[in-house]
Amino acid sequence: MADKITDLANELQAEVQKTNEFDALKEAYGKLKADKEAFELFENFQQAQVSLQQKQMTGEQPTEDEINSAQSMAQQMGSNEIIGDLMTKERDLNQVLSNVNQIVTQPIVELYRN
């Protein structure tokens, strides 16, 4: 039975890649990669996020400089039109995935309601 679910998940993955939302995200990411400055900011922010998350997971507190740097990058990202467009497209695709997740987990929700 688990093999069948895995097969269906693989089919779903292929279908997600065919959605308009995925195409829009892919296009927005391509535009981001084409803009060297925006892409560098995006990558640096991702690296800072990972670093902060790793510290939190180990119970280590980030330094004030690390927090300020991440906040500064977040502000820069928020004002960058290309990154903003990418974030919008990512939210749109995440909404599709959230809807799928609600459908898939509905039996669990119903189980706990009864």
What's the CA gap between 110 and 104, in Å, rounded? 11
- Supply the pLDDT for residue 104: 95
Tokens, residue 57: 């997971």
What's the CA gap between 114 and 110, in Å, rounded? 6
**What's the full length of the chain, in residues?**
114
Instruction: Count structural domains, the chain.
Output: 1
What's the pLDDT tens digit per position in 23-76?
999 999 999 999 999 999 999 999 999 999 999 899 999 889 988 998 999 999
For the ranges 11-20, 57-66, 82-91, 103-112, which has the lowest average pLDDT?
57-66
Residue with tokens 């990972």: 50
- Supply the pLDDT for residue 88: 97
- Supply the pLDDT for residue 2: 85
Q: What range does the domain containing 107 cover?
A: 2-113
- Supply the pLDDT for residue 103: 96
What CATH number has the domain bearing residue 75? Answer: 1.20.1500.10
What's the CA gap between 74 and 49, in Å, rounded? 10
Residue 114 has pLDDT above 90, yes or no: no
pTM of this structure: 0.84
